[in-house]
A = this chain, B = another copy of it.
């Protein structure tokens, strides 16, 4: 399959390239970057030295259409919206990694982004790119919109509970912790190593934009409007995200029943690992143990005193949280084995 990547100078674009150079059924045919036209990719993404001799091109829709069967768009929110439209209009398959096609309801763009979506008619054509939830739709779709890392990680943790309607949906607290690659490659004083190291920095404790995606997907699973209280924090790692999903049980549920619900949901999913151990080193999900892999690890602990359930879900924000999901979606769309090119074990310790 001939593949193009639009906007490949950032961390997510770089990760897509890293996965594609080793993918057995993909050939990278065109890579664009406004900033680096003509430069060797490996100058900007130095770890790819020896893996590709390609250079960055300008964004040219005719060439993309000519050279590629499928295009990944890894440009900032707001920039993707017209590029995806243009490619769609040319009949291309597109996997978008921005937020521009994640929400189905145009009004949600007003609410969360303060922005009127210019192509609302495309929103219903775009599928939310979590194969574990929407595999059949993804197979048939021309546009797949990959979720944010907080969204996919949190959703996979909460989904079975929502579907089984066993939790109080008024008090869902998602406290997430994320590494610095999640902020993108832009340089501001807050991302300077001296300022970003050693932080446990709350950012947007209330009303974070990605809440919208989580509410959309969980509400759809529940068949009713779900409210989510999400608060993200920047912590001193580069890769990885943990969502600590604090929920309150409507009724008493045994640990065994809970595991049963999770197994039922995920038993055939290769990229969701259920983490359950009473002793040993790895009792609960921790992003350290998924780095470099496409896994989302899920586990939980029960707080009987308070009728609380703490669901932990962990992933690599550049893999399952972005580029890994993107390749997984490509595999589904193209009819490849879903694990092709993303079956890596985690790199540990790192």
Contacts and interface: CB of A to CB of B under 8 A. Distances in A.
Given A46-B289, A201-B284, A244 B227 contact: no
Interface stretch (A116-124, A189-197, A216-224): A189-197
A55 interface: no
B231 A199 contact: no
A202 interface: yes
A181 interface: yes
Nearest to A187: B187
Nearest to A230: B303
Contacts of A304: 206
A45 interface: yes
A46 B175 contact: no
A277 interface: yes
Interface string A34-45: 000001000111
A350 interface: yes
Given A281-B44, A287-B200, A305-B207, A177 B177 contact: yes
Given A248-B171, A308-B229, A350-B198, A192 B189 contact: no
A181 to B, nearest CB: 4
A191 B193 contact: yes
A191 B187 contact: yes
A22 interface: yes
A197 B194 contact: no
Nearest to A171: B171
A280 B244 contact: no
A49 interface: yes
A345 B51 contact: yes
A194 B175 contact: no
Interface in A16-61: 18, 21-22, 39, 43-51
B206 A303 contact: yes
A286 interface: yes
Interface string A282-317: 101111111111010000111111101010101000
6 contacts: A48-B345, A177-B235, A181-B349, A200-B242, A205-B310, A206-B303
Interface of A: 11, 14, 18, 21-22, 39, 43-51, 170-171, 173, 175, 177, 179-181, 183, 185, 187-207, 227-229, 231, 233, 235-242, 244, 246, 248, 270, 273, 275, 277, 280-282, 284-293, 295, 300-306, 308, 310, 312, 314, 343-350
